[in-house]
Every structure is written in structure tokens, then in C-alpha cells.
């Protein structure tokens, strides 16, 4: 059983649909680190969630990026959805020459154990100077190897698309203004969305690794 730590039931519904494994929603609003990349936010969140739950956890940090707006709202998607609303984000995109964008998701898994080396990145939240010290063959202090170093495995998924006027009433968040291959996310069933979405792609990588013998 995997605990999906989130306050967003939409994310859990998609993970349940995708993973053969039972997925429980664990409602815990872990403190989000402010950072401009999703991986850092997700890794930090997974560690905080694991410390709180004490069992294997996954968290997801995801967001919409609009090319002509320099990747806005990106890691601030939830905040922008709340403060501006999706209609106003569409108005911002509409004023640009190009409405290309993408949805990105980083799924972060933590069970307190270290992992075998694989191509997927592992975030150990080590600061640059610790790594430099290691490379010079110097020992790191106990303080540096505190529980901040709990490894977290990251799985990233990206779906390219176009920002459009709102259509459809399924899904959540920015689904009505994100079009992929002629349909908005909000016009798709959960199954259709999972087959092509950023979260579906990240979950596919996670499922493949989670089900593999060498994890
Ligand atoms: P997070 O909870 O910090 O990862 O914020 C994710 C935010 O990105 C959500 O609140 C939505 O605004 C947006 N978002 C992420 N994934 C999706 C999706 O699949 N559909 C629509 N909006 C999404």
C-alpha cells in the first residue's frame, strides 16, 4: 500500500486509476519549500511527508508552464489558480502571439531507505559544499548527514500542449484551459487523461520502477 500525501483528491484519483497497487490518500499539507524547480519542491515535500507518516509515501508537485510567459505559473500554479483563477490565466496567454505550454509533474517517492543506482535521479538534499568535501575525500560531519539526507527518488513527466479558452467540466485545476491533441484535459475521462498526461507519464515511470525487482 502506498500513501499519496496530498490535499488534492484529483491527483489521488488519477494515481488510483493508474497504479495496480492500492493508493491511500493521506491528508497532510506538508510545508512546501519555495523553489523555482518542481523537483526540489517535490523532494523536500516527500521527506517531510515521510517523517510525518512513517510509512512509504509518494507526493506530486506539478504545474502548468506557459512558454511566452517565461514558464509562468510553473511551481506557483496552485497559488495562481487560487488568486487569479484559470480564466485570467487564459486571458494572459491569449494576449501573447504563442499559446504553447506544458504541464509538468514530478512524483517523489520516499520510504526512508537508500536506493540502488538507476537512471532515475535521486535527491539527497545535500548542499554543494558537502559534495565538494566528499569529492576531496574529506569526511562529512554527523550534522551534515542528518535526516535531511534521506534519499528521495524522482519521476518526471511532461505533456506539451496549448492554452485555450476554457472547455469541458471534468478534472481539476487548469484542466479546462489545457489542450492536448484537440481536446482539453477537462474534456477527457480520467483514463484518457492518464494515457497522455504529465502525471500519467510520471506515474508510468514510477510504476515501472516500483514493480521492478531491483528497487
Ligand atoms: P501542487 O499541489 O503544488 O503540486 O500544485 C499543483 C497545481 O498545479 C494545482 O493546484 C493546479 O493548479 C495545477 N495542476 C497540476 N496538475 C494539474 C492537472 O493535472 N490538471 C490541472 N491543473 C493541474
**From CA 16, how far away is CA 21, in angstroms rounded?**
8
Asked if 178 contacts 171 with a C-beta cutoff of 8 angstroms, the reply is: no
Asked if 9 contacts 64 with a C-beta cutoff of 8 angstroms, the reply is: no
Asked if 128 contacts 184 with a C-beta cutoff of 8 angstroms, the reply is: no
End-to-end CA distance of the chain: 16
Residue 142 located in a structural domain: yes
> Of the residues 62, 71, 163, which should be mutated to test ligand 1's pocket, given the most ligand atoms within 8 Å of the CB?
62
Q: Around 147, how many Cα atoms within 13 Å sit in the side-chain half-sphere?
A: 11
pLDDT tens figures, 37-51: 899 999 999 999 999
Atom nearest to 197 CA in ligand 1 = 19
Question: What percentage of the chain exceeds 90 in pLDDT?
Answer: 64
Residue 140 has a pLDDT of 44
Residue 135 located in a structural domain: yes
Residue 121 located in a structural domain: yes
Residue 98 known to be catalytic:
no
With a 6 A CB cut-off, is 4 part of the ligand 1 pocket?
A: no
Residue 203 has a pLDDT of 94
In order of 67, 92, 94, 132, 189, the CA distances from 97 in angstroms are 11, 11, 8, 45, 30
With a 6 A CB cut-off, is 14 part of the ligand 1 pocket?
A: no
Backbone phi and psi for residue 190, each to the nearest 5 degrees, phi listed first: -55, -40
Residue 6 located in a structural domain: yes
Please tell me which residue in 29, 37, 60, 61 is annotated as part of the active site: 61
Domain around 67: 2-210
- If you search the block for the grid coordinates 509538468, which residue do you land on? 104
Residue 98 located in a structural domain: yes
Residue 212 has a pLDDT of 81
Residue 187 has a pLDDT of 98
Q: What tens-digit pLDDT sequence spans the chain (215 residues)?
A: 889 999 999 899 889 888 877 899 999 888 888 888 899 999 999 999 999 999 999 999 999 999 999 999 999 999 999 999 999 999 999 999 999 999 999 999 999 887 654 556 677 666 544 545 555 555 444 433 445 578 899 999 999 999 999 999 999 999 999 999 999 999 999 889 999 999 999 999 999 998 886 66
User: Burial code of 179-207, b = ≥16 C-beta within 10 A, e = fewer?
Assistant: bbeebbbbbbebeebbebbbbbbbbbbbb
Instruction: Supply the CATH number for residue 159's domain.
Output: 3.90.950.10
Residue 100 located in a structural domain: yes
Residue 215 located in a structural domain: no
Residue 54 located in a structural domain: yes
Domain tally, the chain? 1
Dihedral in degrees, nearest 10, Cα atoms 198, 203, 206, 211: -150
With a 6 A CB cut-off, is 199 part of the ligand 1 pocket?
A: yes
Residue 22 has a pLDDT of 87
Amino acid at each position: 500500500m502506498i500513501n499519496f500525501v496530498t490535499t488534492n483528491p484529483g491527483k489521488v484519483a488519477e494515481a488510483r486509476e493508474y497504479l495496480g497497487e492500492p493508493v491511500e490518500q493521506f491528508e497532510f499539507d506538508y510545508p512546501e519549500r519555495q523553489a523555482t524547480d518542481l523537483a526540489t519542491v517535490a523532494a523536500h515535500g516527500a521527506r517531510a511527508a515521510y517523517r510525518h507518516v512513517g510509512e512509504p509515501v509518494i507526493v506530486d508537485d506539478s504545474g502548468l508552464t506557459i512558454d511566452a510567459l517565461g514558464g509562468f505559473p510553473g511551481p506557483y500554479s496552485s497559488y495562481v489558480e487560487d488568486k487569479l483563477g484559470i480564466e485570467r490565466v487564459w486571458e494572459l496567454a491569449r494576449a501573447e502571439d504563442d499559446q504553447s505550454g506544458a504541464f509538468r509533474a514530478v512524483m517523489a517517492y520516499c520510504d526512508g531507505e537508500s536506493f540502488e543506482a538507476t537512471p532515475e535521479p535521486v535527491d539527497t538534499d545535500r548542499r554543494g559544499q558537502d559534495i565538494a568535501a566528499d569529492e576531496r575525500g574529506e569526511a562529512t560531519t554527523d550534522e551534515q548527514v542528518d535526516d535531511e539526507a534521506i534519499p528521495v527518488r524522482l519521476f518526471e513527466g511532461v505533456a506539451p500542449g496549448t492554452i485555450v479558452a476554457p472547455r469541458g467540466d471534468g478534472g481539476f485545476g487548469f484542466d479546462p484551459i489545457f489542450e492536448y491533441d484537440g481536446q482539453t484535459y477537462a474534456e477527457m475521462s480520467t483514463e484518457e487523461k492518464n494515457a497522455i498526461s504529465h502525471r500519467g507519464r510520471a506515474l508510468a515511470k514510477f510504476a515501472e520502477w516500483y514493480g521492478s525487482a531491483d528497487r
